[in-house]
Amino acid sequence: MAAAVERIVVQATPQDMKAHRRPGSQGRPDTRAKSRQMSVTDKIWGALTSMINLEEKVNRQADAMKSQQQKIEDLTGRFIRLEAQLELLIGAAIVKRLKGQ
């Protein structure tokens, strides 16, 4: 059994040995570390970009809300004036009816 194991170890080629080593061994640069670093940088850049886009959207929504609020206030004023005119006309109609009887 020991002879069979020895034969397998001896028959292993240098390529077989490299296949089982971690990247970056034997003084070679670790390309996975660079890709991890780039992916972290890309994630940070993406997060910052998303945050800036979100801020722009919030600012646009705030401006739209201010505009809508102004329109609502204008409509409220118009409604109050219409309500006052209606009350005056109803009061005048009641007085006219009472005078007519």
Range 34-51 burial, b when 16+ CB lie within 10 A, else e: eeeeeeeeeeeeeeeeee
Q: Give the whole-angstrom CA distance, residue 48 versus residue 16.
A: 44
Give the confidence band of 10 by pLDDT, cuts at 50, 70, 90. very low
pTM (predicted TM-score) = 0.47
- Residue 72 to residues 10, 48, 64, Cα–Cα distance (Å): 87, 36, 12
Residue partners of 31: CB distance under 8 A and separation at least 6: 23, 24
Better pLDDT: 33 or 40: 40
Tokens at residue 44, please?
A: 């940070």
- Residue 34 to residues 23, 31, 67, Cα–Cα distance (Å): 11, 5, 49
Q: Give the whole-angstrom CA distance, residue 82 versus residue 77.
A: 9
Mean predicted confidence (pLDDT) in 60-64: 97
Q: Give the whole-angstrom CA distance, residue 101 versus residue 97.
A: 7
Lowest mean pLDDT across 38-42, 44-48, 68-72, 88-92: 38-42
